[in-house]
Amino acid sequence: MIDFNNPTFVADPYEQLKELRDIGKPVWHDAMQVFLAARHSDANDVFRNKSLGRIFIDKKPDFEWETFNWLHSDSILDSEPPKHTRLRSLVAKAFNRNKIEGMRPAVERITQQLLDTIDEKTKSGLNFDLIADYAEPLPVKIIADLLGFPESEEHLLRPWSQSIVKMYEVNPSIQYQLEAKKAASEFAEYVRDLAEYRKTNPGQDLITDLAMVEENGEKLNSHELVATCVLLLNAGHEASVNAFGNGMVAALKRPEQIALLRENPRGVTDTALEEFMRFDAPLHLFERTATVDTEVGGVKIEKGQKIAALIGSANRDATVFENPDEMDLTRDPNPHIGFGAGIHFCLGAPLARLEMSVSLPALWEKYPTMALASEPIRRPTFVLRGYESVAISV
């Protein structure tokens, strides 16, 4: 059975994921004590099946993990109705399509600032790093701005977030655990203080809005407020960085896809960003727990048993996608499930799409001859799949 931590698997998981799909039904992974839903139809069912819930089980039920635990159990992502409905409805209107479209000028402005900084490097004959100089700062700055997280402290976000999300990997190491515990406490304390400050110094931001809801003593308690803000700050950039990085690296390795982006970047942007999401998924595995006996793909899942939707595998399913192992930036339709499905469907999908739809053509218009300067360096993780650094020459 697949070893999700094996470096060879992490380097290229797609052949083994295909073998898993070929079994034709969800398969029990004994070491992980979870069913794996690798086919598109099964993974989609996992997201939509109402008998399968996102049930957060405390990582370790001791006090050192207390903050990490409630940061999850009191967040939108790790709760189920009616709590999920209440929490999601409090922030959903901030993320609707119209509100997000209103952020386009800010996304364009920040994109331009990043390109100007990159230009200084390239004019001195230096390469730039696609991740650190472009893919990462854009979503970090946008989500920080939306929530009202101080610009001067933005550098804190990525390290905190990275430390927390490494706990989502299969069997996180002791080192990862220590870092996650520490980051969770620091992040929660910072956001708690910020929310308190906003109650007396309100801004035009989401933390202020949520702090006011909490202040009025309805609908949102103190842990839920902090957990929601931390989730939004993390989810608001982690996958976006990797969707852009993974897609760009794959495209830059394929001359015919480079030609499409070079010749008419705006013409292919809409389909290209969906193919970025499909081809080398930034998020691979999400678990659910059966709240009653149920069934997925003909396999019985007993109450209490877990099943994982394998997104990156589903997105390569030949029964849904023609030539699934080929990247095609003009692919349309493209029913990938990169943003999930069902009640937990990604709240930030319109924002992620807006960011990519601005940043992708802007980069190609500026540097039509850009190329990989060396082999990109991957992060050694499977669940959140992405690159550490990607050197680009122009």
Q: Which residues bind ligand HEM (CB under 6 A)?
A: 47, 54, 76-77, 88, 143, 231-232, 235-236, 239-240, 243, 282-283, 286, 338-340, 344, 346-348, 351-352
- As a whole number of angstroms, the distance between CA 272 and CA 256 comes to 13
Using CB positions, name the residue nearest to ligand HEM: 348
Q: Which C-beta is closer to ligand HEM: that of 47 or that of 70?
A: 47
- CB nearer to ligand HEM: give 183 or 231: 231
Q: How far is the CB of 283 from ligand HEM (least distance, A)?
A: 5
> How does DSSP assign 40-65, residue by residue?
HHHHHHHHH-TTEE-----SS-SGGG
Nearer to ligand HEM, 227 or 261 (CB): 227
Quick one: 27 or 107, whose CB is closer to ligand HEM? 107
d(CA 178, CA 367): 41
In the complex, minimum distance from the CB of residue 280 to ligand HEM, in angstroms, rounded to a whole number: 11
Which segments within 292-343 are labelled E, that is strand?
294-296, 299-301, 306-310
Q: Which residues lie closer than 8 Å to 324 by C-beta, 6 or more apart?
A: 315, 316, 317, 318
Q: What kind and span of H or E run contains 189?
A: helix 174-200
Residue among 70 and 127 whose Cβ is closer to ligand HEM: 70
Q: How far is the CB of 282 from ligand HEM (least distance, A)?
A: 5
Q: How far is the CB of 360 from ligand HEM (least distance, A)?
A: 12
Query: Shortest approach of ligand HEM to residue 88 CB, angstroms?
Result: 5
Q: How far is the CB of 288 from ligand HEM (least distance, A)?
A: 8
- Containing 251, the helix (H) or strand (E) segment is helix 238-252
**Token couple for 186:** 């620091």
Q: Distance of CA 6 to CAs 1, 309, 380, Å? A: 11, 20, 9
Instruction: Considering the complex, state which of residue 324 and residue 340 has its C-beta at the smaller distance from ligand HEM.
Output: 340
